[in-house]
Structures are given as C-alpha cells and as structure tokens.
Amino acid sequence: MNNPVDENWDIEITDKNNPFDLKLKDVWHYRDLLVLLVRRDFVSFYKQTILGPIWFFIQPLFTTIIYTFVFGNLASIPTDGLPQPLFYLAGITAWNYFADCFTKTSTVFTANAGLFGKVYFPRLIVPLSIVVSNLIRFAVQMLLFIGMMIIYWGRGASLHPNIYLLLFPLLLLLMAMLGLGLGMIISAMTTKYRDLSFLVTFGIQLMMYLTTVIYPLSVVESKYPRYAWLVKYNPMTSIIEAFRYGFLGQGTFTMLSLSITTAITIIMLLIGIVVFNRVERTFIDTV
C-alpha cells in the first residue's frame, strides 16, 4: 500500500544522529518560543517584587562597593591606575554575563526535566533563551557601567576609550559561546553524575579568582611570574582585559592571547554541542 512516491518522510526517528546537527531549521521554527521564554524569565523574575528591574543594578553596584573596600582598600591590590570602582565594575559586568550564562545553562536538563519529559521542541532553545535573557541583563548593567564612566570622566579621571572598543561585539560573542559551551558540557554530564552540580557553584567562584576580575593581569605577571600562566591562559582573562582596554584604556592583552581564547571557546562550544546532542536524546531515561 506504500508506493515509492510516498517515501518522503518529514520526520525520521532513529537510534543514530549526527553529533554536529544542531537542527537549526527546527530552532528557527521555534523562534517564537525563544522570545516567549525570555519574556517569561523576566516577568517571573520581578513579579511580586517591589524594586522589580532595579535588582539588575543592585547586585553589581553592591559587589563593586564591597570589592573596592576589601580588595582595593584593605588589600591594596593595584588596579592598573584606573579608578577602583570602575575597574571592578568592568570586571564584574563582563564576568557576570559569562558566569550567569554558564551556571544557568549547566542546569538546563535537570531544571527542565519536567518539561523535556513531556513535550518535544529543539532543546537548544532553552540554552539559547538563557543566553539571550542574560544579554538583556548585561545590557542593563552596561548602562550602569557607562553611567559610572561618564561620572568619572566628568571628574577628570584618565580614561582612554579607544579603537579596541570595536572588539566589544566579538568579546560579547566569545563570552556567550564560552558560557554556553561549558554550560552544555556540565548540563549533559549532570544528568548522570549529579556531583557536578555541586562543583559548578563553587567552581565558578574559584574560577573568578583565576580571572582578572579583582586584579589586573599585569600585577600577577610581575608578582607571580611562575604561576601567571594559570591566569593568562584562562580564556576569560583576555576577554576581560580586552574589555577594560577598549573602554578604559588599561589592560594587558595581545591579539595572540585573544586568538587562543577564541580557539578554546570554539573547541568548548563544539564539545558542548556534541555532548548536548548526545545526551538530549535519552537523558529523560536517566535524569
């Protein structure tokens, strides 16, 4: 009853799949869902809060104040000659974007098991929606940062925004890709080995101290030349250094270090995609 003309099937479900196939066509079809998920994140974030979206400012602002007090004044860690609050805020803003993308993505499977267990849609939509909704948060925090920059500029601080500002879109993309890639690797593995979810929460904090959020790369290189590579080859370091250099005119990065970061990021994202694709297919049986 099945003549050969009928053999063009719309969906084929098999036990094999292409590890690099992102089903982008499917993702595109579900783009409205992405928008709605981002919207849901925001609405549920400040429903029944008094301050609402102001919370987006409070966290970086207070963190900056504390860092200025502890690391800037008590520990007197130099900041490449930049005003301390501005130095920290630059680091925090960029770091937060990466860290939020990473931690949120790393729980995609476990946090959405209920949803994933009942309905099909391209799973990639959820990590993407995380990256996008954090992007909006990041944009809001960038406003805070630029506002602070203008204030310090008005007071005559020596800030030198320069041509490297043009790298900003690339830096943003790298942070998103790195957060997404690492997050997908962890999320895929936590479906089987729950231990990793504990590692993530404190691992991300430790990683922050290996990144130039609270100190400039130049200080590590002069103080601990033997261990500086640990910080230097951390992919987030050159992103943050380049970010600071572009906006504030101080920072240590080279095109080489940025290329290494780009390479690491792409590798992480590819690994992330492969494991995510693999796990996506059967995780509901083990989660």
Partner 1 sequence: MPAAIKVENLSKAYQLGEIGTGTISRDLERFWAKMRGKEDPFLKIGEVNDRTTKGDSNIVWGLKDLDFEIEQGAAVGIIGRNGAGKSTLLKILSRITSPTAGSIKIKGRVASLLEVGTGFHPELSGRENIFLNGAILGMRKAEIKRKFDEIVNFSGVERYIDTPVKRYSSGMYVRLAFAVAAHLESEILVVDEVLAVGDAEFQKKCLGKMGDISKGEGRTVLFVSHNMTAVKALCNSGILLINGTLAQHDEIQNVVNKYLMAFSPVSKISFVSGNLMTSNNLVELNSIEVITENAAGGFFINEELSIKVSFTNKAVTSPININLFFNTPDGTNIFVTCSMGREFSKGQVTLKCSIPANVLNDNIYSIDTMIVTNSTPILFVKETLIIEGIEPHRQGSWLEKFPGLIKPLFEWTVEGI
Contact set with partner 1 (CB under 8 A)? 1-3, 6, 8-15, 17, 29-30, 32-33, 35-37, 40, 43-44, 47-48, 114-121, 192-194, 281-282, 284-286
The dihedral through the CA atoms of 196, 199, 204, 210 has a sign that is negative
15 or 166: whose CB is closer to partner 1? Answer: 15
Q: Minimal distance in Å, beta carbon 10 to partner 1?
A: 5
Q: Minimal distance in Å, beta carbon 29 to partner 1?
A: 7
Q: Minimal distance in Å, beta carbon 125 to partner 1?
A: 9
Closest of 265, 95, 109, 282 to residue 184, by C-alpha: 109
118 or 155: whose CB is closer to partner 1? Answer: 118
* Cα 137-110-103 angle, rounded to 5 deg: 35
Q: Are 127 and 105 in contact (CB under 8 A)?
A: yes
Q: Are 131 and 179 in contact (CB under 8 A)?
A: yes
Q: Are 281 and 122 in contact (CB under 8 A)?
A: no
Q: Are 108 and 126 in contact (CB under 8 A)?
A: yes
Q: Minimal distance in Å, beta carbon 206 to partner 1?
A: 24
Contacts with 64 (C-beta within 8 Å, 6 or more apart), sequence order: 85, 88, 89, 92
CA–CA distance, 188 with 236 (Å, rounded to integer): 22
160 or 192: whose CB is closer to partner 1? Answer: 192
15 or 156: whose CB is closer to partner 1? Answer: 15
Q: Minimal distance in Å, beta carbon 6 to partner 1?
A: 5
CA–CA distance, 105 with 131 (Å, rounded to integer): 8
CA–CA distance, 203 with 198 (Å, rounded to integer): 8
3 or 76: whose CB is closer to partner 1? Answer: 3
126 or 240: whose CB is closer to partner 1? Answer: 126
Q: Minimal distance in Å, beta carbon 197 to partner 1?
A: 12
34 or 167: whose CB is closer to partner 1? Answer: 34
Q: Per the structure block, which two tokens stand in for 177?
A: 């890709």
Supply the DSSP string of 108-143, one letter for each residue: HHHHTHHHHTT--S-TTHHHHHHHHHHHHHHHHHHH
Q: Minimal distance in Å, beta carbon 120 to partner 1?
A: 4
